[in-house]
Chains A and B, each alone.
Chain A
Amino acid sequence: MATRSDGDDAVVTPEGATPPAAIDLRGINKTFGTVRANNDVAMTVRAGSIHGIVGENGAGKSTLMSILYGFYSADSGVIRVAGKPVDIRSPNDAIAAGIGMVHQHFMLVDNFTVLENVMMGAESGPLLRESIQKARGALLNLASEYGLHVDPEAVVGDLPVGSLQRVEILKALYRDARILILDEPTGVLTPQEAVQLFRILSALKERGVTVILITHKLGEVMAITDSVSVMRRGQMVAERVTAETSPEELAELMVGRKLKAGVSRQAQSVGKPALKVEGLSLRDRYGVARIDDIGFELCAGEILGIAGVSGNGQSELLEVLSGITPISAGRIHVEGRDITVAKPALPDEMRGLRLAHVPEDRQRRGMVTDFTARESSILGYQRDPAYNGRLFMDYDAIDTHCHDLMERFDVRPPLPGIVSAKLSGGNQQKLILAREIDRDPKVLLVGQPTRGVDIGAIEFIHQQLADLRDRGCAILLVSVELDEILALSDRILVMFEGRIVGEVPIEEADRSLLGLMMTNTHQGAAAADLEPLP
């Protein structure tokens, strides 16, 4: 259905005599094995505009951008940059054509300074000193021009995520990029950081830089882009002027069907406390409190959302509660077991107490990506008698189990033998969630359940969590996505610098209040400082 003509019609040209398009792609095809990742894709991006590309995971947007940036070469098709056909075979060619890219996962050297990272690979001569001086000057210019403030001497490893992204943008601008591609740039940012980023992007646009924004967050598309292309299954299915479309229309175009609105929420009677935390603290090896004397109760049949700017102790909280990190002080009470400094519990014991955990980082914690899906489907339960004979594991039982999970949670492709790394992010997450929910846990810890997951899968995962809550499970939800917290939680705790700085019932919660509490700048902050909630 979607084709080149579709794209041609929708080219955004306000006046007749505009300068040539910054990017003009025609008939791009790319096939991996039997998968047509890009099928006759055409796209035009007006110079000096912010252009969004939306689509689910696997829709082909990253492939398209990888072709534009020279990671892959297209099987066929024409790329024009500023009206001239170019042959982009490597990122160096792309940089020479004035294209810069900010990747989803930052490509920075942690123990280098900002300055060193920015000039790396673009040094002006064999002696570092000249390069450093030149780069420092350029960096200060860029910083003041675009509002990209980062300390050039700061070591990258010490910087927060938002700053890392700015370093990536600086890297591209330092190489004279006139076209900047950002791949899912807000996936790792707090709402405030995202707002800052958008401010920077607007400044770039004002100075004539063309920005291409790959995302699946429709709110961002509506907020900042001038025009938007929608991809589905390798094809360009629509191109719209942002002002003339709506999130609903875009979502429908992306998924190819209508979506339900939110999860069902039935009136719930909250049960007895399933998890009690008292005076819990965690100090890192430098003695800094990552979790600072927090206490709360989590009851059966409720979802307790933990909101907070990433890096304020939420991740540590999950690791401590799941037994991965031993606590430094305090008490965790679960299923009649007291966990203290003297009597710690390791992850397998916590699992035995019917506490399940969907980790924040599914590829580093939640699964072994080199394992087959069937092996990943029992991670954490590998010693369960259900999957073991006396000596050997019962691979038939594991296979049946995995297939059953895949069927019930719509993991595609439903092949237990597939290597986990080959599943898409959403399907990996569904498999992990399936594994943990299948155990019918009393307490479920969930971290960033939908990070990097496409819209269709988000809907499904949210519904699963809500259903589990309705069956009486106590769920602790950590997420940096406020929308997610607001959509699912019955009660919200806000964390700031390892402390709980406030509790908000869902009826009173809204984005701005939570946003302020997350940065500890709301009115009650001073009081909360003195008197942390129990």
Chain B
Amino acid sequence: MSAPPVELPPWIDIGLIPVINICLALLVSGLIILAIGENPVEAMAIMIRGALGYGEGIGYTLYYTTNFIFTGLAVAIAFHAGLFNIGGEGQAYIGGLGVGLAMLAFDSYLPFVLLLPLGILAGAAFGAAWAAVPAWLQAYRGSHVVITTIMFNFIAAAVMVYLMVNVLIKPGQMSPESREFADAGQLPFMHEILAGIGITVTPTPLNLSIVWALICCVGVWAYIWRTRWGYELRAVGHNESAAVYAGARPRHIVIAAMCISGALAGFVGFNEIMGVHHRLLLNFTAGYGFTGIAVSLMGRNHPVGVVLASLLFGVLYQGGAELAFEVPTITRELVVTIQGLVILFSGALAYMSTPWVTRAYRALLGWRAAATAAGEA
């Protein structure tokens, strides 16, 4: 009978509160911009115009969004199984290695229609494999997945440097990059696809993989909420002892969830390696794996929320780059600070404003009830 205190309706919980959090972050960012002597309103305008105001900006925004969707989904699905996968960065890195190796091996033999699924499979398999080791250690040895996945990020980085510098580097050059893939091993850019149907847009890195990202969203949603495997996965995440009672095997589910999570993160490599760079190189993950944590938190671990949060971070990345370019006093570091503030307010401090909003909502309810009572009287 312990009736809960006021429960917030969904429009406040998943609509208003994130908006408030972003506004708080922007407010603090504005103060910082003010402190270095620039006009915050103008800076915001440049940012938004830079991200959404013209074709090229939109293309870049959506290209970043693609990566965030993959890493956000990766964190979300693990979260539903009660796991906190912060190894998205490493899984994306190794996933990219898988895509690259597959292309380097087969791009001169197979046509695009076969290389496309091969790239997806390779990214998924390598990402999943990289997540499987921490998952196994968690399930069978009790090593906490938060610790092991973050360690695996470092191992992934070291492995990649070794491979790029010593093994996969194209002979006769200084920069640690592989040779470029043949045309069949390259995803078509969106501007190429649109040109094919007669629409001309500015070239951007946005490519076919965004379609795959959206397919993954639907797939993750269906898996989590519409299949018996997702049912057992959520059961383990919410209440392991009930899941055992129900005949689920938590160890298997931990491993399955982490593998799916790693596969999703691995698709960052699909976008970056097969879609944008068309060669293997270093540091293409650029922190997307870590940002995925904030994306997932902000999106409440739901695919729709993940898409929306990914869009927001896409805007921040692209708009921020534009801002640093347009206003010389606002440096790249300051842009990173603004991004960091948004992550801070919508991730780590996501529930900070909840008590205030709850109190305001309760007051509103009371006021409304009083008004109705007065009206009736």
Whether, in the assembled complex, B36 has its beta carbon less than 8 Å from a beta carbon of chain A, the answer is no
Selected interface stretch from A17-25, A32-40, A244-252, A472-480: A32-40
Tell me the residues in window 236-271 of chain B with beta carbons closer than 8 Å to chain A beta carbons: 238-239, 241-247, 249
> Given the interface contacts A380-B246, A383-B228, A393-B231, does A57 sit within 8 Å of B238 by beta carbon?
no
Asked if B226 contacts A393 (CB within 8 A), the reply is yes
Contact of A380 among B4, B226, B227, B247 (CB under 8 A): B247
Asked if A367 contacts B242 (CB within 8 A), the reply is yes
Complex Cα–Cα for A379 and B249 (A)? 14
Whether, in the assembled complex, B6 has its beta carbon less than 8 Å from a beta carbon of chain A, the answer is yes
Complex Cα–Cα for A370 and B247 (A)? 18
Min CB distance B81 to A, Å, is 13
Chain B residues contacting A346 (CB-CB under 8 Å) are 247, 249
Complex Cα–Cα for A37 and B5 (A)? 12
Chain B residues contacting A367 (CB-CB under 8 Å) are 242
Complex Cα–Cα for A62 and B4 (A)? 12
Whether, in the assembled complex, B222 has its beta carbon less than 8 Å from a beta carbon of chain A, the answer is yes
Asked if B242 contacts A57 (CB within 8 A), the reply is no
> Given the interface contacts A37-B3, A347-B246, does A368 sit within 8 Å of B227 by beta carbon?
no
> Given the interface contacts A382-B228, A393-B231, does A32 sit within 8 Å of B3 by beta carbon?
yes
Whether, in the assembled complex, B278 has its beta carbon less than 8 Å from a beta carbon of chain A, the answer is no
Chain B residues contacting A351 (CB-CB under 8 Å) are 247
Asked if A380 contacts B245 (CB within 8 A), the reply is yes
**Residue-by-residue, is A358-390 near B (CB-CB < 8 Å gives 1, otherwise 0)?**
010000111111110001000110110001100
Chain B residues contacting A66 (CB-CB under 8 Å) are 2
Asked if B247 contacts A348 (CB within 8 A), the reply is yes
Asked if B239 contacts A369 (CB within 8 A), the reply is yes
Asked if B1 contacts A368 (CB within 8 A), the reply is no
Asked if B235 contacts A368 (CB within 8 A), the reply is yes
Chain A residues contacting B231 (CB-CB under 8 Å) are 375, 382, 393
Whether, in the assembled complex, B232 has its beta carbon less than 8 Å from a beta carbon of chain A, the answer is yes
Complex Cα–Cα for A104 and B247 (A)? 30
Chain A residues contacting B302 (CB-CB under 8 Å) are none
Asked if A32 contacts B228 (CB within 8 A), the reply is no
Whether, in the assembled complex, B234 has its beta carbon less than 8 Å from a beta carbon of chain A, the answer is yes
Whether, in the assembled complex, A324 has its beta carbon less than 8 Å from a beta carbon of chain B, the answer is yes
Chain B residues contacting A349 (CB-CB under 8 Å) are 247
Residue of B nearest to A350 (CB): B247
Complex Cα–Cα for A37 and B228 (A)? 38
Chain A residues contacting B227 (CB-CB under 8 Å) are 391-393
Whether, in the assembled complex, A50 has its beta carbon less than 8 Å from a beta carbon of chain B, the answer is no
Whether, in the assembled complex, A424 has its beta carbon less than 8 Å from a beta carbon of chain B, the answer is yes
Whether, in the assembled complex, A59 has its beta carbon less than 8 Å from a beta carbon of chain B, the answer is yes
Residue of A nearest to B244 (CB): A324
Asked if A364 contacts B239 (CB within 8 A), the reply is yes
Min CB distance B329 to A, Å, is 49
**Residue-by-residue, is A29-58 near B (CB-CB < 8 Å gives 1, otherwise 0)?**
000110101000000000000000000011
Min CB distance A468 to B, Å, is 20
Residue of A nearest to B243 (CB): A368
Chain A residues contacting B245 (CB-CB under 8 Å) are 322, 324, 347, 357, 359, 365-366, 379-380
Asked if A365 contacts B241 (CB within 8 A), the reply is yes
Chain A residues contacting B1 (CB-CB under 8 Å) are 37, 57-63, 424
Asked if B238 contacts A379 (CB within 8 A), the reply is no
Chain B residues contacting A61 (CB-CB under 8 Å) are 1
Min CB distance B154 to A, Å, is 33
Contact of B2 among A62, A324, A365 (CB under 8 A): A62
Chain B residues contacting A357 (CB-CB under 8 Å) are 245
Residue of A nearest to B226 (CB): A392
> Given the interface contacts A324-B244, A324-B245, A359-B245, does A388 sit within 8 Å of B228 by beta carbon?
yes
Chain B residues with a Cβ closer than 8 Å to the other chain, count:
25
Complex Cα–Cα for A359 and B232 (A)? 18
Chain B residues contacting A37 (CB-CB under 8 Å) are 1, 3
Question: By CB atoms of chain A within 10 A, which of B1, B7, B242 has the most?
Answer: B1
Complex Cα–Cα for A35 and B1 (A)? 11
Chain A residues contacting B5 (CB-CB under 8 Å) are 32, 72
Residue of B nearest to A384 (CB): B228
Chain B residues contacting A368 (CB-CB under 8 Å) are 234-235, 238-239, 242-243
Contact of A365 among B3, B234, B242, B247 (CB under 8 A): B242
> Given the interface contacts A368-B235, A382-B232, A383-B228, does A63 sit within 8 Å of B247 by beta carbon?
no
Asked if A371 contacts B234 (CB within 8 A), the reply is yes
Tell me the residues in window 392-411 of chain A with beta carbons closer than 8 Å to chain B beta carbons: 392-393, 395
Complex Cα–Cα for A81 and B1 (A)? 25
Question: By CB atoms of chain A within 10 A, which of B2, B231, B242 has the most?
Answer: B242
Contact of B235 among A57, A324, A371, A387 (CB under 8 A): A371
Complex Cα–Cα for A502 and B244 (A)? 32
**Residue-by-residue, is A167-198 near B (CB-CB < 8 Å gives 1, otherwise 0)?**
00000000000000000000000000000000
Min CB distance A422 to B, Å, is 8
Asked if A392 contacts B247 (CB within 8 A), the reply is no
Complex Cα–Cα for A392 and B226 (A)? 5
Min CB distance B9 to A, Å, is 11
Residue of B nearest to A71 (CB): B2
**Residue-by-residue, is B40-78 near A (CB-CB < 8 Å gives 1, otherwise 0)?**
000000000000000000000000000000000000000
Tell me the residues in window 326-373 of chain A with beta carbons closer than 8 Å to chain B beta carbons: 346-349, 351, 357, 359, 364-371
Residue of B nearest to A72 (CB): B5
Min CB distance B188 to A, Å, is 30
> Given the interface contacts A59-B1, A424-B1, does A33 sit within 8 Å of B6 by beta carbon?
yes
Complex Cα–Cα for A178 and B110 (A)? 84
Complex Cα–Cα for A62 and B2 (A)? 7
Complex Cα–Cα for A392 and B234 (A)? 15
**Residue-by-residue, is B1-40 near A (CB-CB < 8 Å gives 1, otherwise 0)?**
1111111000000000000000000000000000000000
Min CB distance A351 to B, Å, is 6
Min CB distance B242 to A, Å, is 5
Chain A residues contacting B241 (CB-CB under 8 Å) are 364-365
Complex Cα–Cα for A357 and B241 (A)? 14
Asked if B246 contacts A63 (CB within 8 A), the reply is no
Min CB distance A267 to B, Å, is 35
Question: By CB atoms of chain B within 10 A, which of A57, A347, A368 has the most?
Answer: A368
Chain B residues contacting A388 (CB-CB under 8 Å) are 228
Complex Cα–Cα for A237 and B317 (A)? 64
> Given the interface contacts A379-B235, A382-B228, does A347 sit within 8 Å of B244 by beta carbon?
yes
Chain B residues contacting A387 (CB-CB under 8 Å) are 228
> Given the interface contacts A370-B238, A391-B227, does A347 sit within 8 Å of B247 by beta carbon?
yes
Question: By CB atoms of chain B within 10 A, which of A58, A322, A370, A395 has the most?
Answer: A370
Complex Cα–Cα for A290 and B259 (A)? 37
Asked if B235 contacts A35 (CB within 8 A), the reply is no
Complex Cα–Cα for A58 and B247 (A)? 33
Min CB distance B231 to A, Å, is 5
**Residue-by-residue, is A307-329 near B (CB-CB < 8 Å gives 1, otherwise 0)?**
00000000000000010100000
Complex Cα–Cα for A60 and B228 (A)? 39
Complex Cα–Cα for A424 and B231 (A)? 23
Chain A residues contacting B246 (CB-CB under 8 Å) are 347-348, 379-380, 382
Complex Cα–Cα for A395 and B228 (A)? 11
Chain A residues contacting B247 (CB-CB under 8 Å) are 346-349, 351, 380, 383
Complex Cα–Cα for A349 and B249 (A)? 12
Min CB distance A396 to B, Å, is 12
Min CB distance A77 to B, Å, is 16
Chain B residues contacting A60 (CB-CB under 8 Å) are 1
Asked if A35 contacts B3 (CB within 8 A), the reply is yes
Tell me the residues in window 68-109 of chain B with beta carbons closer than 8 Å to chain A beta carbons: none
Tell me the residues in window 347-375 of chain B with beta carbons closer than 8 Å to chain A beta carbons: none
Residue of B nearest to A361 (CB): B241
The 3 closest A-B pairs by CB, nearest first: A348-B247, A32-B3, A380-B246
Q: Could you show 13 A-B contacts with beta carbons less than 8 Å apart?
A: A32-B4, A57-B1, A61-B1, A62-B1, A63-B2, A322-B245, A351-B247, A364-B241, A368-B235, A369-B239, A370-B239, A379-B245, A380-B245
Please name 6 further chain A to chain B contacts, defined as beta carbons within 8 Å, in addition to the given A32-B5, A392-B222, sorted by A numbering. A62-B1, A62-B2, A322-B245, A324-B244, A380-B245, A383-B247
